[in-house]
Amino acid sequence: MAAFVLRRLANHLVLAVLGVSLAYLLAAAALDPRAAYEDRTPRPPEAVVDARLTALNLNDRTPLADRYRIWAGDVLRGDFGRTWDGEPVNAELGRRLGVSLRLVLPGAVLGCAGGLLLGAWAAVRRGRTADRLVTFGACLLPAVPVFVLAVLLQMLASRANDALGVRVFVWVGESTPGAPGGVAGLADRARHLLLPTVTIALAQLGVYCRYQRGLMLDVLHADFVRTARARGLRRRSALLRHGLRTALVPMTTYLSYASGLLVLGAVFTEEIFGRHGMGEWLAGSVARGDVNAVAAIGCVAVCGVLLAGLVADVLHGALDPRVRGAA
Amino acid sequence: MWVSRRAAAGLLLLALLFSLVLLGPLVSPSGWDETDFAAFHEGPSARHWLGTTQSGRDVFALTLRGARTSLLVGLFVAVASTGLAAVIGAAAGYAGGRVDRVLMWGADLLLVLPSFLVAAVLAPRLPGGLPVLMAVLAALMWMVTARAVRAMTVSLRRREHVLAARFLGVGAPRVVARHVLPHLASLLAVDASLNVGVAIVAEGGLSYLGFGVRPPDVSLGTLIAEGQGTAAAHPWPFAFAAGLLVLAVLAVNLLGDGLRDAFDPARGGR
């Protein structure tokens, strides 16, 4: 198992370095931080803009190779440089990563687990009303993009608030400004988290559910499940211990793909629910031409996708003993 | 050929959407680029079937125009990315060796790069408008299919009919086009129809954030972004655009799923 993980790790490391470098080069070549300075009123003198851009390693008149060398040297020392307005990227990155993780993780876990269970359940009840309802929902949900889903949920919530006469649902930001600490503060945060979590969970749920239902149908009548029943296991435990475990194996490869989808969904969720996380930062930074910030976000995204791939490999190995020796 | 019910439903829905988008502007009393200075943010009326936007534009005509852009992007990007996947995957699988390694390695690299970041950084800065946006999207969507095509090509390469053609002296491009790609037709058809949905959502998302289609062009993404702020009081602009987007994606997903069932009898009837 260790050798298997190590080999994958080395492969991933090379890909990560290349991917991150490419993200920086792309951002540095295409984005234009100079325009943001020149748009200021009164317009600063050219020499001042040049000096400022050079100090931040953003000057488009320095050759790209030189800028890349400076940036890569800094990154190796663990410093992502400074943003467009001179703040250190590292501090902002840490803060925003926390916001994003607090936002995305509950929804991702909920959506993944719910989708897998719902899909497996629908497969077991194949052809009945419950299965039809689940299948229809799982077909409809992936067709609804996150930016439509989030706005729809907000509309429903504000209708509900109006109907009830009290603000049951709140969704702007992470917490009410000036909220008390302790248990009341936590409750306030949870209330703010409800709608975005439902958005992210629903966006994941449909896709997981559809795949899992198909995979589960493949194993329902497989020989090993029948053997388990013949050995005297009850239908429930035969399906859970022999059926579900086998049906989960192909899902692990899907996990790394889904993580990319999740990051993308987070961009819209953060924009719409007013969370100052990584996704909102990316959209803003691209619009501002903030090369170092975009490169840092690209770095986190590349590492995140590869990490998800690694987790998928480990899960695959844990569920399926055959891959540990091979691969 | 027996076509599954799902594929038929998807096809019907798609046909309805296309006829709405193509015929709607002909019967609408207002054009998409007209501004009615006498009607700001009004509800549905005889002159404006679905009301007007904040700036006095006709919601019905404007949204159909946006849907036209979105469907166009979806179709072109899907065909282009699936075509790219077929060519690259078949080349890698058939040639093997160094070509294979380089191409698949490039695919891995593109898979690792966050495509949203690449598209958001590149698309607004390249000159050329819509065609360039479509090219960027297509260039970021071929990798997974190319891997599948490669794997199938590798196994097809050793089949007798391919070997026979090769030993008869048929050139490699012709063998791939005549004897390998036809076997992949079902995979590619399913992939292309599912990619239409992916492309429509991708374009909508980029445009929603302001990185995609730019004024004066409109797409469903820009219309949803404009409409959502006032969606509570004036739901029409948001609801119509969002509804068309969801229906379009649903239609192509149904079509893709149905085609997969039809091509793969072992999984059929589910």
Segment A256-266, tens digit of pLDDT: 677 777 877 88
- Which residues are bridge partners to B35 per DSSP? B57
pLDDT of residue B233: 76
pLDDT of residue B3: 59
Give a yes or no: residue B37 inside a domain. no
Give a yes or no: residue B68 inside a domain. yes
Q: What is the ipTM of this complex?
A: 0.83
Is A305 within 8 Å of B114 when comparing Cβ atoms? yes
Residues of A whose CB is below 8 A from B231: 151, 155
* Interatomic CA distance for residues A23 and B146, integer angstroms: 22
Domain total in chain B: 1
* Interatomic CA distance for residues A72 and A78, integer angstroms: 10
Cβ-Cβ contacts under 8 Å for A35 (sequence gap 6 or more): A289
Cβ-Cβ contacts under 8 Å for A25 (sequence gap 6 or more): A64, A68
Handedness of CA B5, B10, B14, B16 (dihedral sign): positive
Asked if residue B127 has a cis previous peptide bond (ω within 30° of 0), the answer is: no
CATH number at B182 reads 1.10.3720.10
Name the average pLDDT for chain B: 84
Asked if residue B173 has a cis previous peptide bond (ω within 30° of 0), the answer is: no
| CB-CB neighbours of B227 under 10 Å | 23
Residue with tokens 């987007």: B245
Q: Is the pLDDT of residue B268 over 50?
A: no
Q: Does A303 touch chain B (CB under 8 A)?
A: no
A279 within 8 A of A100, measured Cβ to Cβ: yes
Closest to B159 measured CA to CA, from B183, B125, B138: B183
Domain ranges of chain A: 2-326
Q: Does A260 touch chain B (CB under 8 A)?
A: yes
What are the φ/ψ torsions at residue A270 (nearest 5 degrees)?
Answer: -65, -45
SS3 assignment, position A167: coil
A-B interface: how many C-beta pairs under 8 angstroms? 112
Give a yes or no: residue B44 inside a domain. no
Give a yes or no: residue B43 inside a domain. no
Give a yes or no: residue B250 inside a domain. yes
pLDDT tens-place string over residues B48-88: 777 777 777 888 888 888 899 999 999 999 999 999 999 99
Closest to A273 measured CA to CA, from A105, A100, A113, A109: A100
Q: What residues make up the domain containing B115?
A: 5-26+53-262
Task: Kindly tell me the burial class for residue A284, based on how many C-beta atoms sit within 10 Å of its own C-beta (0-12, 13-18, 19 or more).
Answer: middle
pLDDT of residue A2: 75
Which pTM value belongs to this model? 0.86
CB half-sphere exposure, A8, CA atoms < 13 A: 20
pLDDT of residue A132: 86
- Give the gap in angstroms from C-alpha B252 to the nearest C-alpha of chain A: 9
Q: Which fold has domain A2-326?
A: MetI-like fold (1.10.3720)
Give a yes or no: residue B58 inside a domain. yes
Nearest CA in chain B to A142: B250
Give a yes or no: residue B95 inside a domain. yes
| CB-CB neighbours of A114 under 10 Å | 16
pLDDT of residue B270: 44
pLDDT of residue B85: 93
Q: Residue A236: pLDDT band by 50, 70, 90 thresholds?
A: confident
Residue of A146, A257, A301 with shortest CB distance to B114: A301
SS3 assignment, position A4: helix
